[in-house]
Amino acid sequence: MSESDRKHVDGCAIFYRTAKFVLIKEQLVEFNQIAIEHANGHEDMLNRVMTKDNIALAALLQTREPCWESSVPPDPSQVAQPILVCSAHIHWDPEFCDVKLIQTMMLMEQLRQIVESCGHSLRPGHKKENNVQLLLCADFNSLPDSGVIEFINNGKVAVNHKEFKDIAYKECLLKMLSHTNNDQQFTHTFQMNSAYSADLLPFTNYTYDFKGIIDYIFYPKGAMKPLGILGPVSEEWIKESKIIGCPHPHIPSDHFPLLVEFGLTLGVPRSSPVNQVMMPPPTSHAAYMRRMKEF
């Protein structure tokens, strides 16, 4: 790819510690290619969805013994736990809320297919149980009250949701979501919790003309527990420093980092409560930078 081409394509990355995880499989998700595959001549799918160059990257990892530190599972077969990690970037423009929602639906369907294809082959003797856990990290470019986050949180969204803009996507999307027979709702198969909430982090994107939550980390209900969460940059420090938007010399991106330390809960029913242990937010920029280094 040429230097000029690199400026016009989207990119995501996933980094992992090789001492603690083994990479089993990786997969690139290109939303424009999925749109072409399922458009069936649908003009809006081709003209609105296919033209947006956004992607996601998924990596199926398996835990090694050092990942468990001092709490190695008593059952040796539980040491190698499969975790599907996904990093995604959804389209940004608020005028294309339909595209954001469709890209998110495409993403969840692709992740379902990865889990279905890999979940039963990793641990012999567990063919009736899908034991792959999903960790989803994404810039969804969508507020907490959007159709995108409604879909992720609730596992469903109405086929006539207002964010589809009354465009007749229904037939294309029902064919794409092959796992469901419900023609009144679009669904996905995961049960997810958000690691962050608005009372902990009031904004993840901080610019001159926009401040809000558009970045998220979702984890599987019952299978993981947040042990530590990086809080926000001190609003007092932001005011004292007269920062009206980012990027800034001390904050190089208009997106603030989200960092969560998770623990895997083995043998716990999916309905068990998740108790989050929150780390207090930094009170200054220096404390914020120290916290970053600790993670």
Encode burial over 54-67: b for 16+ CB neighbours within 10 A, e otherwise: bbbbbbbbbbbeeb
Residues in contact with 76: Cβ distance below 8 Å, sequence separation at least 6, in sequence order = none
Cα–Cα distance, 156 to 192 (Å, whole number)? 12
Cα–Cα distance, 131 to 267 (Å, whole number)? 11
DSSP string, 52-99: ---EEEEEEEEE-GGGGTT---SSGGGSS-EEEEEEEE----GGGHHH
139 is catalytic: yes
- Please give the structure tokens belonging to residue 131: 């034991």
Cα–Cα distance, 149 to 214 (Å, whole number)? 10
- Indicate which residue of 44, 98, 139, 215 is catalytic: 139
Q: Is 45 strand, coil or helix? A: helix
Encode burial over 262-294: b for 16+ CB neighbours within 10 A, e otherwise: bebeeeeeeeeebebeebebbeebebbeebeee
Instruction: Specify the DSSP class assigned to residue 114.
Output: H
Cα–Cα distance, 236 to 37 (Å, whole number)? 50
Residues in contact with 249: Cβ distance below 8 Å, sequence separation at least 6, in sequence order = none
Which active-site residues does the annotation give? 139
